[in-house]
Structure 1
Amino acid sequence: MRVILQRVAQASVKIEKKKISEIKSGFLLLVGFKDGDGQREIDYLAHKIANVRVFSDSDEKMNLNIKQAAGMVLSVSQFTLYAATRKGNRPSFTEAQAPELAEENYQRFNAALRAEGLKVSEGIFGANMQVELVNDGPVTIIYDTENN
């Protein structure tokens, strides 16, 4: 399982020019699953993301987690996180989890984030989305359960 976390001042998702989700300060999460990913990876990353301390405290040090900073999450599924690019010029996505299972895991991941006490907005799985964000910092962290 891979998640690209970006700390944002704001972020939104549009589909066909219609805004379907938006947040103010918090995290934009780009979420991808590969074959074999399941509840263990979901629970692990939900806990890590809920507790990562990347928001500034009163001394301007990154010392607060998203709950302490009253932030929100915008979670967007993105199978292209598992693009294989070593050969040729056209990425292969054979490592990405089958869509039916990936959609179930995406919903389970968002539920796990909510169980951690986070406010979560979502994109729509499998849709062609336009994602807008204002990266704050910038702070970008890559989580990969194979490299934890």
Structure 2
Amino acid sequence: MRVVVTRVKSASVSVDGEVVGELPRPGLLVLAGVGHDDTPADAAALARKIWGLRILDGELSASDVAAPLLVVSQFTLYASTRKGRRPSWSRAAPGPVSEPLVEELCGQFEALGAEVHRGRFGAHMEVVSVNDGPITIVIDTHDWD
């Protein structure tokens, strides 16, 4: 799995003008992409890593201060731009594979005690965020080998 984690003062996601997920206070925006080889174990490890990252003020983690999370599926994180001008999405897992893994990531966060808000999988979403810092980190579970 590949994620972009951003420390935010606020964030929301809307579909067709309706807010479907919104952070009630400062927290983390997690854009989550799923590749073909990703597993529920990857989602669990990623949730533990993100929940414990000391990237909030005072070198605290989201788990230290119960910061909320907004998780938004983002297949474009697996874009290949090597050839030409049109990105290829072939490295991203298809919806029937990736949707359960994004939901597994959210479930793993919740099992750790996180307050999780979600985007709507497969929808055209408008994501609005006010970055704090800015602090933005890219994590790829395939780089952990």
If the length of structure 1 is used for normalisation, what is the TM-score? Answer: 0.94
Residue 137 of structure 2 corresponds to 141
Residue 77 of structure 1 corresponds to 73
Map 1:4-83 onto structure 2 (within 5 A): 4-23=4-23, 24-57=25-58, 63-83=59-79
Name the structure with the higher helix share: 2
Q: Give, in angstroms, the shift of residue 146 of structure 1.
A: 1.4
Q: Give, in angstroms, the shift of residue 69 of structure 1.
A: 2.3
**Percent identical across equivalent pairs?**
40
Q: Is the partner of 2:63 in helix, strand or coil?
A: coil
Residue 2 of structure 1 corresponds to 2
Q: Give, in angstroms, the shift of residue 67 of structure 1.
A: 2.3
Distance 2:56 2:74 in 1: 25
CA RMSD in angstroms comes to 0.8
Per-residue CA deviations over 1:41-68 (Å, capped at 9, x if unaligned) read: 11110000010001123xxxxx211122
Runs of 4+ in 1 over 2 A off after TM superposition: none
Residue 60 of structure 1 corresponds to none
In structure 2, stretches of 5+ residues that fail to align are none
Q: Is the 8 A contact 2:66 2:115 kept in 1?
A: no
Aligned residue-pair number: 143
